């Protein structure tokens, strides 16, 4: 008799070539499947809620797998973590019904992007934040982000290698907040400005390949004043990747995890959520 188990997994994506298994073996999926196989003493194949690219981090990736091995949820967590490298950790484990599917059961997905606004490049947070060295206009970025809410054809923000069947997605929410001194947003003429962090949160039914990093490139261009808010309207309408800003760095991008119906009874957040600025 097989059992279906769901896991919540967090990881620092910097050392790995993305989520999806590759021949090199240096992906998050490869490391997790190897650890599970050692703990269960048999091969285990996992399916995830959403693949992440090289350098992208995960706060609560959700996977599921079927196995005849019987272990308590705590054993799946502690036993698997004993074989995982330090940048990857299982946060929770839970038995789920056979009808549950990590990807297909998700009703939405959430990402966060953290940007350091500073004249000086990141140091202790290198690889964990994006970086801009010009002050950002929060009001302009929020006005532009509002244009992306709802159902749209997001072809202008789609990578050439994207395998999604349709570019039409529904953006439920974009929140932009700042943590830092008051003069970081609109510095007074002739005065300096202080470094701060910006946090961009996105929630949609699904995302295209590089969609958030391409949106970030556009929002930051608007925030720095090199493009207008109306320019983003034109980019969206063009449905062409050629008219949008360059793809922004993966360093500050975090997969916050999928959203599931309450019927599955799965955790909705982990402690890693509160670590971000």
The pLDDT of residue 18 = 93
Distance, in Å, from the CA atom of 168 to the CA atom of 162, rounded to the nearest integer, reads 13
From the list 87, 72, 116, 93, the residue with the least C-alpha distance to 8 is 93
Residue-wise pLDDT for 68-112, tens only, equals 999 999 999 999 999 999 999 999 999 999 999 999 999 999 999
The pLDDT of residue 182 = 66
The pLDDT of residue 161 = 86
* pTM (predicted TM-score): 0.93
The pLDDT of residue 276 = 75
The single residue of 30, 53, 66, 261 carrying the catalytic annotation is 53
Mean pLDDT across 175-188: 73
Residue 241 has pLDDT above 60, yes or no: yes
SS (H, E, C) the chain: CCEEEEEEEEECCCCCCCCCCCCCCCCHHHHHHHHHHHHHCCCCCCEECCCCCCCCEEEEEEEEEEECCCCCHHHHHHHHHCCCCCCEEEEEEEEECCCCCCCCCCCEEEEEEEEEECCCCCCCCCCCCEEECCCCCHHHHHHHHHCCCEEEECHHHCCCCCCCCCCEEEEEEEEEEEECCHHHCCCCCCCCCCCEEEEEEEEECCCCCCHHHHHHHHHHHHHCCCCCHHHHHHHHHHCCHHHCCCCCCCCCEEEEEEECCHHHCCCCCCHHHHCCC
Residue 58 has pLDDT above 60, yes or no: yes
From residue 239, give the alpha-carbon distance in Å to each of 94, 100, 141: 41, 35, 20
Q: How many CB atoms lie within 10 A of CB 93?
A: 21
Q: Cα(first)–Cα(last) distance of the chain, in Å? A: 45
From the list 29, 28, 34, the residue with the least C-alpha distance to 47 is 29
The pLDDT of residue 190 = 47
The pLDDT of residue 255 = 97
How many angstroms from the chain centroid is the CA of residue 240?
23
Residue-wise pLDDT for 133-171, tens only, equals 999 999 999 999 999 999 999 999 999 888 889 999 999
Active site residue 53: yes
Domains and CATH numbers, the chain: 3-105 (3.30.70.580), 108-254 (3.30.70.660)
Distance, in Å, from the CA atom of 73 to the CA atom of 71, rounded to the nearest integer, reads 6
């Amino acid at each position: 008799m097989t059992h279906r188990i769901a896991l919540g997994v967090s990881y620092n994506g910097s050392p790995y070539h993305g989520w999806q298994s590759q021949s090199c073996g240096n992906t998050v999926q490869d490391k997790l499947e190897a650890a599970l196989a050692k703990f269960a003493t048999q091969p285990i194949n996992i399916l995830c809620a959403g693949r992440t690219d090289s350098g992208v981090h995960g706060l609560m990736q959700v996977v599921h797998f079927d196995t005849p091995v019987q272990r308590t949820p705590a054993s799946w967590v502690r036993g698997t973590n004993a074989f995982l490298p330090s940048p990857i950790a299982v946060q929770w484990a839970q038995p789920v019904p056979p009808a549950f599917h990590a990807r297909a059961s998700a009703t939405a997905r959430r990402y966060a992007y953290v940007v350091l606004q500073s004249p000086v490049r990141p140091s202790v947070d290198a690889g964990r934040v994006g970086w801009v060295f010009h002050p950002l206009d929060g009001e302009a970025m929020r006005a532009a982000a509002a244009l992306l809410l709802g159902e749209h054809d997001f072809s202008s923000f789609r990578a050439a290698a994207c395998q999604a069947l349709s570019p039409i997605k529904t953006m439920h929410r974009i929140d932009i907040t700042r943590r830092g001194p008051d003069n970081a947003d609109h510095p007074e003429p002739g005065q300096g400005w202080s470094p701060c962090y910006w946090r961009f949160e996105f929630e949609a039914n699904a995302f295209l390949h590089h969609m958030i990093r391409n949106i970030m490139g556009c929002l930051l261009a608007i925030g720095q004043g090199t493009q207008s808010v109306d320019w983003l309207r034109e980019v969206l309408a063009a449905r062409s990747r050629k008219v949008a800003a360059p793809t922004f760095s993966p360093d500050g991008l975090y997969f916050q995890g999928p959203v599931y119906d309450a019927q599955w009874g799965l955790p909705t957040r982990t402690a890693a959520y509160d670590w971000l600025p």
